[in-house]
Amino acid sequence: MKNNFITCVGAVSKAYGPQTANRNFRDKMLRLVLSLAFAFCGSAKASDGAPDHSGPSIRVAIARNSPPIKLKTSVKTYVNEVKTGRKYLLLANSSYEVKSLGTLSILVANQTLSSPIKLSSEDGSEKLRLGGNIYKGAILIRAGPSGGLDIIEELPLEDYLYGVLPVEMSPSWPLEALKAQAVASRSYAAKNINPAKDYDISNGAEMQVYKGTKGINSRILEAVNSTRGEVLKYKGRLITAFFHACCGGRTSSAKASWGEDVVKPLEGVGDPYCSDAAHYQWSLHVAYEDLLTFIQNSGSTALKIKSIRIYKKERSGRTATLLFNTDQGKFQLSAGELRKRFGSNSFKSTYITHIKEGKSGYEFYGRGWGHGVGLCQEGAKEMAARGKNYKKILKHYYPGASITDYEN
């Protein structure tokens, strides 16, 4: 079928997110080129990956704080004011500027519209191409709080999971591990749905990664569809089903990591299943000068570091606090801040086992990759390889949680 397109080009700017693996996201987004394309879509069954309109919907921020963009149309395009219901027509084969006018309005082709606006192609079936990824949901553009544009996709929760699973876990991994990941990701997303917010979830690793239709295959569809609607609850309430790459032998509690309310499924468990994983053990050399600069920027007046040692540990064995012995006395610093400064892809976790001083710096030795809370993906992979089904995997990593339908 011939495709008709709307294209939008521009750079996405600086604002993004709070947590570990996606701290570099804002820098990546600075380099992205937006291209929005709406194309006619044929119909297909949900089992073939076509939109399934059952269940709740979710709003995903796929770009934030974008500067003005150029919208180029090749078909008639409707711009709808969500608040007023007014609809405007953009002519085919034309170019229009879209920019924020503060938090309440958006300028489109010199016409001031109330924020947010919804874009749709003439027949109402659209696709969005953004930075090489394709999105099938409804597209909202909202004037963001920082003066830019937020681009938000709204789609059914099950469709959203098709785009999460292949980038959060390798599609080649055992099917039961993929099913466990699907239930965890569905639970995490459902827990974050909040109509009072401008959007429910972001698309980066500070929450969970989502890249539209990228990477979807038959195994991904089977994992999502065979667990359709299933979520994790504790005492009748959804849990925030955190997950990570490798726990290093024991998962951490959500309270220790982020101060989350203590619930039994997120207290942490011993894990013998990830010991053969590539990232079960790691080491990182950090130059002396870099460490000194870091503690100085963190408030120390030190001119020399004499030694570094682990000062306080969490119950899981992860390091909570490091103690720097300096020429100006002792200085405490959280291991999380150290990991944040030197990068979560290098400083893989706060599960530091020991520290050695070398000629030019310090060698940090540790275990696992990620925050360590909830499902250990490497452990889930091994459990599935040993014949455990997804329900047993989830029971191990979220003890006390029940697997139930979202609607119940």
Q: How far apart are CA 282 and CA 364, in angstroms?
A: 8
Chain length of the chain: 408
CB-based burial label for 76 (10 Å; 0-12, 13-18, 19+): middle
pLDDT of residue 255: 84
Please name the helix (run of DSSP H) or strand (run of DSSP E) that holds residue 279, with its range, or none. Answer: none
Q: How far apart are CA 252 and CA 226, in angstroms?
A: 29
Report CA dihedral (103, 104, 108, 113) to the nearest 10 degrees. Answer: 170
| Order of strands across the sheet that contains 105-108 | 6-9, 69-73, 94-100, 105-108, 111-114
pLDDT of residue 128: 66
Q: What are phi and psi of 237, to 5 degrees?
A: -120, 140
Contact predicate 301/315, CB 8 Å: no
**352: amino acid identity, one letter:** I
Name the token pair of 39.
Answer: 């194309």
Nearest Cα residue to 79 out of 59, 40, 106, 51: 106
pLDDT of residue 9: 40
Question: What stretches of 193-318 show up as alpha helix (H) in DSSP?
Answer: 218-225, 254-258, 288-297
pLDDT of residue 125: 54
Look at residue 209 and give its three-state secondary structure. coil
Q: Distance from CA of residue 324 to its chain's centroid?
A: 33
Contact partners, residue 127, CB within 8 Å, separation at least 6? 37, 38, 39, 41, 134, 135, 136
pLDDT of residue 27: 36
pLDDT of residue 124: 56
- 164 conformational bin, left if phi > 0, alpha if psi -120 to 50, beta if neither: alpha
pLDDT of residue 127: 64
pLDDT of residue 35: 46
Place of tokens 């709808």: 80
Q: Going residue by residue through the chain, which has 408 residues, state the pLDDT in tens, using 9 for 90 and above.
A: 434 444 444 333 222 233 333 334 333 333 333 444 443 233 333 334 444 445 799 999 998 888 887 777 767 878 899 999 999 888 878 888 888 988 788 888 788 999 999 987 766 555 666 667 888 888 899 898 888 999 899 999 999 999 999 999 999 999 999 999 999 999 999 999 999 998 999 998 889 999 998 889 999 999 999 999 999 999 999 999 999 999 999 999 998 777 766 789 999 999 999 999 999 999 999 999 999 999 999 999 999 999 999 999 998 999 999 999 999 999 999 999 999 999 999 999 999 999 999 999 999 999 999 999 999 999 999 999 999 999 999 999 999 999 999 987
Contact predicate 151/138, CB 8 Å: no
